[in-house]
Amino acid sequence: MTKDNNHRGNRIQLKAKVMIRCQDVLLKTFGKAKPSSRLQSIIQKFSKRFVGGYPYVIKLDVIDKCNLNCKMCYARNTGHEVPSKNILYILRQFDKVPIRLDLLGGEPLLREDICEIVRYAKSNTAIQEIVLYTNGTLATEILTKNFFDAGLDKAIITFISHIPHKHDDFTRVPDSWNKTVAGIGNFVKAGIKTYTFTALHTENIQDFDNIYEFVTNKLKVTPLFYQYVPQKLNDPLLTPLELWHKA
């Protein structure tokens, strides 16, 4: 390997480490900003320019199956699990580059080996941080403690509404709100940095302020919001501009 390649490799590793360490501040600030605001735009542009074309985050869908049936879900829910050997093979490719790993689904907690995947990634690769995306309904006290012991850094939990019946109506599963809230509490109790993740659409855009206050003051975690991405033409969940500007 040439000196130029060594220098470039060191620069890439430094950029990844700095971005991973700064992302908490960026995410917190991004979450507090109004959707589509100038502040959010500045954060997005800064992150993209700083990181450049280097993939400091790898997103890995580990299962195409979920225990909820959310109206906005894009997953086909085939029930397919990525074989463990395939996941470990992918992880081994990052034995020297300090990336962040995001684990998604479907619902990752439906995998019996999800904690072992986290443990392997933290113990056998250069992966610096592991983030789990989940609906939280299956996050028991025992499981969240196991996640902490395995090395999970953060949990990002889908949260539709501060109003239980609205959340349950959207997930189309009764009592899912209570289970999600309990799961959030279990992640926090286990010592894992926890966020809620809320897509803003026609069914909750007007509750933006209330959701933010509930998550911040009642659940005591950091709320993250993003604009719903339509899944089809004339998607009824796509927020009209006039409602978006009022939020």
Per-residue pLDDT of 102-143, as tens digits, reads: 999 999 999 999 999 999 999 999 898 999 999 999 999 999
If we measure between CA atoms, which residue out of 122, 119, 128 comes closest to residue 100?
128
Helices marked H in 151-222? 164-171, 176-190, 208-213
Per-residue pLDDT of 22-77, as tens digits, reads: 766 766 676 677 766 788 778 777 766 665 544 578 999 999 999 999 998 877 78
- Beta carbons of 128 and 20 less than 8 angstroms apart: yes
Distance CA(186)–CA(66), nearest Å, equals 20
- CA 90, 91, 92, 96 torsion-angle sign: positive
- CA 178, 222, 241, 227 torsion-angle sign: negative
Report the relative pairing of strands 193-200 and 100-104 from DSSP bridges.
Answer: unpaired
Residue type for position 37: S
CA atoms within 13 A on the CB side of 180: 29
pTM for the full model?
0.79
